[in-house]
Amino acid sequence: MPDYHDDLRLAHVLADAADAVTMDRFKALDLKVETKPDMTPVSEADKAAEELIRGQLQRARPRDAILGEEYGVQGTGPRRWVVDPIDGTKNYVRGVPVWATLISLTEAGEGGYQPVVGVVSAPALGRRWWAAKGHGAFTGRSLTSASRLRVSRVSELSDASFAYSSLTGWEERGHLNGFLDLTREVWRTRAYGDFWPYMMVAEGSVDLCAEPELSLWDMAATAIVVTEAGGTFTGLDGRPGPHSGNAAASNGLLHEELLGYLNERH
């Protein structure tokens, strides 16, 4: 089994650097925010954090490729770092502390690039989660001060907590009725949004979560944290990993039921 410790340690260094940049501008009164062509916001902090991460990766891993939300793909090869400098930019620009920097190392494999290292750092929440393939998932302040993550053992929908981001995406896909049927079956629903529900699945405080439209940089880091914690991460089509343009994550025991409801059309 490959040892990804050096890559994981580098990802933590990158996350530390990004946290310093993003926290410095969080709630800044003069924060500059633009609208991208897809009508989503991007702040100066998004750009600065990604530029910093890219610069450090180019020095530390010059042979590796980089894919980032703000500046696209750079380089080629069997190893590619995937970066979302601020997942939850809408929260960030409004002063809501639920946002994170997502950093993942992916390697070329069957079905495309597969995540082998992931770090999710949410400095405004004072939280960080990480995982490396075959070595488990953890949360804590640092690599040396961490606790192991494990998904829940909830096996009945009526006992399950389901997290989601919003209703509009499900409606646009024509799957709102299935989504609503699921919310009626579970014990509890909460709209935490973005990276956070996946981390809650990994740590066992939430049992199911899903989003109807996502990009690879939204999912690469969260996918490996969930799976290394013993959970299941697929697209709505059931394809394992972060390659379907949407996501469903669970403790594994409820995954087929989750997909069944979310693929219902009425």
* Segment 31-53, tens digit of pLDDT: 787 776 665 767 788 888 999 99
6 is in an annotated binding site: no
CATH among 3.40.50.2300, 3.40.1190.20, 3.30.559.10, 3.30.540.10 for 4-148 = 3.30.540.10
86 is in an annotated binding site: yes
84 is in an annotated binding site: yes
Q: What is the pTM of this model?
A: 0.94
The pLDDT score that the predictor gives to residue 45 is: 84
207 is in an annotated binding site: no
The pLDDT score that the predictor gives to residue 127 is: 96
The pLDDT score that the predictor gives to residue 1 is: 65
The pLDDT score that the predictor gives to residue 31 is: 73
* Under-50 pLDDT residues of the chain: none
CATH 3.30.540.10 in the chain is located at 4-148
Supply the DSSP string of 86-146, one letter for each residue: EETHHHHHHT-S--EEEEEEEEEETTEEEEEEEEEEETTTTEEEEEETTS-EEEEEETTEE
The pLDDT score that the predictor gives to residue 37 is: 63
Which architecture characterizes domain 157-263 according to CATH? 3-Layer(aba) Sandwich (3.40)
Convert the pLDDT of each residue in 209-254 to its tens digit.
Answer: 999 999 999 999 999 999 999 999 999 999 999 999 999 999 999 9
218 is in an annotated binding site: yes
